[in-house]
Chain A
Amino acid sequence: MDFGNIIDAALSQALGPQAIVFALAAIGLNIHFGYTGLLNFGQSGFMAIAGFGLAVSVVRFDLPFFVGVLIALVTPVLLALVLGVPTLRLRADYLAIVTIASSEILRLILGAVEFKDVFGGSNGLTGFVRPFQDLNPYSGPLDLGIVSWSRSDLWSLTVGWILVALGCLLVWALMRSPWGRILRSIREDEDAVRSLGKNVFSYKLQALILGGVFGGLAGLFHVLKQGSAVPTDFNTTFTFYAYAALLVGGAARVLGPVVGSIIFWFLVAGLGELFDQLTDGSGVNLPTWLMTDTQASLVRFIVLGLGLMLLMIFRPQGIFGDRREIAIDAR
């Protein structure tokens, strides 16, 4: 067994572009679910609409790249308004249903043959990230011995982690403010907040928009680091993995979603490589009745799911969560 390879695979994913996409999406979900108690099950929809917002603007409408980026950040705001205005006055579950449905609808529309002329069908769109790559100041790849990244990954990482850091800074600043206090109060009891003269609907909408924009940033970053916008990248499992990352790190904590995403990808990649090596027919191998090489990449998710269950049972507040916030019964 080659532990070097396992650590390499785990670390390059945990600190790599994919973890950044998850971290950004999970920061958004943290604003929604962690702080405000809104159940957004369609974060992938916010990602998709922003990613394609950029791609379509540049590829189909020949708009300048930075105008495309701007459009990409406005589209999640519009989506949040469309989803939030009709549902945020209703019970919490309405938002959950509407968000999950809308994200699927978006994904299907974006991949539909009928709209191939606009969205590129199942292959999606490419050829819109040139200006992003042109800004790359690095001259070559980075090799840290144990992990290494290509020149273009290095640029993505720089931009991505700066975005994550700025996002965390913003969330920290907002959540220590009276505005954040209202969100945390809404999570617990909307009526109490209303009785004190606060427009609960407006605050929920603001939270939905802000978290949605972080989802949009995740989508934008995803298409940039990948160089293409592909509809199937934005399916609902993405949203649930992002939730898993959030819960691992700890909801309602500023760094929870970031640490959660890093750990999540460390485990996904590390376990993947480990099981690969244990089933590849050379060196130490698991008996085939236990696991075959084709099963290896799936088993890691079973193991992860199990781990998540154990975490929820023994440490429901996540790694960073505040035990007291969880332990106290509201009644």
Chain B
Amino acid sequence: MPANLKRSTGEAATASLVDVPRVPGAPKPDPIVKGDNITRTFGGLKAVDVQHIEIQRGVITALIGPNGAGKTTLFNLLTGFDVPDTGAWSFNDKSLAKVAAFKVARAGMVRTFQLTKVLAKLTVIENMRLGATGQRGEKIWSAPFKSLWGSQEDEITARADELLERFKLDAKREDFAGSLSGGQRKLLEMARSLMVDPELIMLDEPMAGVNPALKQSLLGHVKSLRDEGRTVLFVEHDMDMVREISDWVIVMAQGQIVAEGTPESVMADPAVIDAYLGAHHDTDLTELDPAELEAQAEAELDAEAAAEEAKE
């Protein structure tokens, strides 16, 4: 873990945000990410149009908003997987605009994908090992000689095994990642991104498709990331989850940030209810039973997967 990660707690995180105004683009006392005027258009559609965004260090920030609000696109832009039309942003005060995705990850800002990207034809443990940075055996000149990287590989494997145990994937260690269930893939992807040892971890719908039993433990994992000093930014549809674990919520709609605040304040905001709940205007999301929410999330995920496939 980087030396500059300080252990933190839920209370400390909440305390650090009490004085932050509950307005879109609110400045934070200790931002790890700062962005300005970030826009991205697809054809005529303005998918992202963010005036100002700051992510507080050491807290769990939820990014919510209806489907198509631009959350994934914003993730893609911030992590170098897509190029913006305009905009500048910094991570730890280092400008990361137009920086290649792999350099963003190396800088300590690691993301997962809405449609999981586990390497199906590698085993679970190999997926994990791949995540470790600074591997001597990744250099072509030293790769043929195991004596040069074998001991480091053992250290990496030990670290990977610890994480697998923590994420309850140790029984699957030698299985091909392609044989995992959707929820297990989400877990593996999260665990693998931790192998990079990121300061900021960005999770795109980590709970989508995860069965309710696994969800509770996933929530615990996300909290533990904050408690060990990492900053978490995650996209989620399930309002119960957002309420339960996030310290701060940013709401997007039609590419813009329309509201910010604590989970309680945001969910009481009429503008949010309007933008986010949209079609479910007269249902209180929190009163839907979990199975129904699940089905809803699945349906949305499937629709996006289909759209993604159609694009390819």
Contacts and interface: CB of A to CB of B under 8 A. Distances in A.
A188 B140 contact: no
Contacts of A182: 130, 138
A253 to B, nearest CB: 13
B192 A184 contact: no
A294 interface: no
B149 A196 contact: no
Contact of B81 (A176, A191, A329): A191
B121 A184 contact: yes
Nearest to A210: B140
B208 interface: no
Given A178-B143, A192-B117, A197 B135 contact: no
A195 interface: yes
B51 to A, nearest CB: 27
Interface stretch (B42-50, B99-107, B257-265, B282-290): B99-107
Contact of A329 (B102, B117, B120, B122): B120
Interface residues of B, number: 42
B195 interface: yes
Contact of A195 (B113, B122, B129, B136): B113
B144 A177 contact: yes
Given A185-B122, A196-B195, A178 B129 contact: yes
Contacts of A176: 146
Contacts of B144: 170, 173-174, 177
Nearest to A194: B101
B137 A177 contact: yes
Given A196-B131, A196-B192, A196-B193, A180 B143 contact: yes
B143 A173 contact: yes
Interface stretch (A79-87, A93-101, A198-206, A264-272): A198-206
Contacts of B118: 192
Contacts of B193: 195-196
Interface string A167-190: 000100110111111101100110
Interface in A188-226: 188-189, 191-200, 206, 210
B146 A177 contact: yes
A330 B120 CA distance: 5
B119 A185 contact: yes
Contacts of A174: 140, 143-144
B138 A178 contact: yes
B139 A179 contact: yes
Contacts of B136: 178
Nearest to A171: B144
Interface residues of A, number: 32
Contact of B130 (A181, A330, A331): A181
B153 A178 contact: yes
B204 to A, nearest CB: 11
Contacts of A331: 120
Specify which of A189, A196, A200 lies most central, judged by the most chain B CB atoms within 10 Å of its CB.
A196
B196 interface: yes
B133 interface: yes
B68 interface: no
A197 B143 contact: no
A182 B193 CA distance: 15
B111 interface: yes
A200 B81 CA distance: 13
B138 A198 contact: yes
B126 interface: yes
B79 interface: yes
Contacts of A198: 102, 130, 138
Contacts of B122: 181, 184-185, 188
Specify which of B103, B129, B135, B136 lies most central, judged by the most chain A CB atoms within 10 Å of its CB.
B135
Contacts of B138: 177-179, 182, 198
Contacts of B179: 328
Nearest to B134: A197
Interface of B: 79, 81, 100-103, 105-106, 110-113, 117-122, 126, 129-131, 133, 135-140, 143-146, 149, 153, 176, 178-179, 192-193, 195-196
22 contacts: A174-B140, A177-B138, A177-B143, A178-B143, A178-B149, A184-B121, A185-B119, A191-B113, A191-B117, A194-B102, A195-B81, A195-B113, A195-B117, A196-B192, A196-B195, A197-B196, A199-B102, A210-B140, A324-B176, A328-B178, A329-B120, A331-B120
